[in-house]
Structure 1
């Protein structure tokens, strides 16, 4: 083709092709393969795809759920891509890579977060002292195994609460994981630090631990998933203070004023943002609303109260400016847990009723219409925007895989690849198809 078209024209054509077509195009010739796998092309293709999605309003959402099999008493993770539209139609179903860790098959990996087509997964998102397992690009079927983070606390006397966040550092073109681990030692004095912070860098391929002197004393692990907005992670925190309990003759911690804690992914520095004065003492959760930060005020659970029910949505119109907090609307769904917001303005949430049953619904605040969707008995726990990309295609430690057609091993298995990482053998399954 280079005999008929200039290289710059070929380059522009390739930039507009979908990911699956580009993967096949790497087999055309060595020059195409070299171009498509270059870091410059991967970044340019990502920007082109994002711009095209914005122009055509063809955005995707990653939706994840877990199910329980009563026969073998096992839980399984399920991941789908849906169109970010009022119809919310299914785009495709994603198959988690089948990986063996320490000779134990692990295909049920929960989502920590997603960014630019990458999905950070962990073995068990409900385990208190967990750590992320791998970074996965389902579009090109590549994974990067993560090393085990350094031990935070040697003491086993107290339980631990762990919080993870996954995001993109645009300044260094790096993908990072924030890990916050807190010892549940309510009797310790603030002089005895009880929270550890670690950051994993995909570019470095290693974890970094922060010294206790730079970690805010009010930072606590175990909170809800951080909201990633404007290059920062955001969590809801309470100002901690210590008092001496005469009855128990020991120090106790107690929570004071509520605020929003921040962590800048580029500078790796901590900060804070004031909550709106109207919500200073209210029970809230935090989320991302488009490109803005949102607070969700939850009312008490009472079916008889037809006014103070559901939740209120507040949005920070100008990032970092507390005076720009603005009330948007009320969601009059009783006992609702919000998963996220669609670009059309609808809210995706889980609704619980008086019989203890739950369902996943899409709520339109303009019309108050509710549309139910999803699979019965599935527990949906994650939703966020998604874009198909080539990220990881040029990563030296990214390993290709093929999803096995049977439960764990394909009958048409051609070969296996084993690699030694952190003293353990990881086996990756490749199929003939």
Structure 2
């Protein structure tokens, strides 16, 4: 039997849907190692976007009961509805679990009682972030979140801060650690829960200027490359 060059095998596998790749990991140790390699993941992602193959739309519910569910459907046809098992269960009560960000097939899920997880619904794999304890918290201050890919650092980052603008914590998937950065010079009004919107290398929120009785409403951003607000 002829042996195909590694680059040919890589090109072929790179055009297959994720479900097929999960099965093919068991063909051999070399295929398993190839499919799990981060460089192959980037190649497969680029191929998926290029041919518009296996692109899904995620439908999320935001409830505080045991019925908390998420679903996926084909992006173009809205067919093949599939329920997704959540990595963080609410367990009932007042706390809710929600998806607060998505990037390159990864979903960021937040639960007030269970922390944050990065979830790949295609492979059914989940990475739980180290639990974060934030000090200097204003009473009744709520969490403001964001998730995206830092192109400069080739790293996935999660941002968690309080509506008051302090403290601001950033999680790096590459190092699997949290760190505190300079406080945000803006604030988000209490009760206005919002998750960061990513554009041009920055996460953006709508907030107010601090220390001004009639502070103007504005859009502020956090540049993920230099980790500074603007």
Please give the alpha-carbon distance, in whole angstroms, between the structure 1 residues aligned to 2:63 and 2:80.
Answer: 19
Backbone CA RMSD of aligned residues: 2.8
Does residue 257 of the first structure (1) align with residue 216 of the second (2)?
yes
Number of the residue aligned with 2:100: 112
Distance 1:19 1:105, change over 3 A: farther
Distance 1:67 1:32, change over 3 A: same
Please give the alpha-carbon distance, in whole angstroms, between the structure 1 residues aligned to 2:146 and 2:225.
Answer: 14
Q: Secondary structure at the match of 1:195?
A: coil
Q: Give the deviation of 1:200 after TM superposition.
A: 0.8
1:120–1:132 Cα contact (<8 Å) kept: no
Q: Secondary structure at the match of 1:111?
A: strand
Number of the residue aligned with 2:71: 80
Number of the residue aligned with 1:172: 153
Number of the residue aligned with 1:220: 188
Q: Aligned pairs, how many?
A: 226
Please give the alpha-carbon distance, in whole angstroms, between the structure 2 residues aligned to 1:4 and 1:140.
Answer: 28
Please give the alpha-carbon distance, in whole angstroms, between the structure 1 residues aligned to 2:116 and 2:195.
Answer: 17
Gaps of 5+ in 2: none
Q: Give the deviation of 1:241 after TM superposition.
A: 3.3
Does residue 95 of the first structure (1) align with residue 65 of the second (2)?
no
Alignment equivalent of 1:267, drawn from 199, 210, 226: 226
Q: Which structure is higher in RCO with an 8 Å CA cutoff and minimum separation 6?
A: 1
Q: TM-score, normalised by structure 2?
A: 0.85
Please give the alpha-carbon distance, in whole angstroms, between the structure 2 residues aligned to 1:115 and 1:24.
Answer: 24
Distance 1:59 1:17, change over 3 A: closer
Instruction: Decide which structure has greater helix share.
Output: 2
Q: How does 1:124-163 map to 2 (within 5 A)?
A: 124=112, 132-153=115-136, 158-163=139-144
Please give the alpha-carbon distance, in whole angstroms, between the structure 2 residues aligned to 1:60 and 1:132.
Answer: 25
Q: Give the deviation of 1:257 after TM superposition.
A: 2.1
Please give the alpha-carbon distance, in whole angstroms, between the structure 2 residues aligned to 1:6 and 1:182.
Answer: 54
Q: TM-score, normalised by structure 1?
A: 0.47
Alignment equivalent of 2:57, drawn from 58, 61, 64: 61
Gaps of 5+ in 1: 69-73, 125-129, 184-193, 243-253, 272-433
Q: Give the deviation of 1:221 after TM superposition.
A: 6.7
Number of the residue aligned with 1:354: none
Please give the alpha-carbon distance, in whole angstroms, between the structure 2 residues aligned to 1:147 and 1:166.
Answer: 15
Q: Secondary structure at the match of 1:256?
A: coil
